[in-house]
Amino acid sequence: MVKVGKKVPDVELLLTGGRETRLSDYRGRWLVLYFYPKASTPGCTQEGKDFKEAIYKFRRQSTRVLGASRDSLKAQERFKEKYEFPFDLVSDPEEKLCEAFGVIKLKNMYGRQVRGIERSTFLIDDQGVLRHEWRGVKVKGHVDEVLETLKQLKKG
Give the residue extent of every domain in the chain.
12-155
What was the pLDDT predicted at 93?
96
What was the pLDDT predicted at 61?
96
Please report, rounded to a whole number, the percentage of residues in the chain having pLDDT higher than 90: 92
Q: What integer best gives the mean pLDDT of the chain?
A: 96
Supply φ then ψ for residue 18, to 5 degrees.
75, 15
What was the pLDDT predicted at 111?
85
Among 8, 31, 39, 44, the one annotated catalytic: 44
Where residue 114 falls among pLDDT bands split at 50, 70, 90? confident
CA separation for the pair 33, 152 (Å, rounded): 18
What was the pLDDT predicted at 131?
98
Q: pTM of whole model > 0.85?
A: yes
What was the pLDDT predicted at 44?
96
Q: Does 44 qualify as catalytic in the annotation?
A: yes
Q: In degrees, to the nearest 5, what angle opens at C-alpha 124 toward C-alphas 51 and 7?
A: 155
CA separation for the pair 52, 65 (Å, rounded): 9
Where residue 12 falls among pLDDT bands split at 50, 70, 90? very high
CA separation for the pair 57, 60 (Å, rounded): 5
pLDDT of 70 > 80? The answer is yes
Average pLDDT for 94-108? 94
Domain 12-155 part of CATH 3.40.30.10 = yes
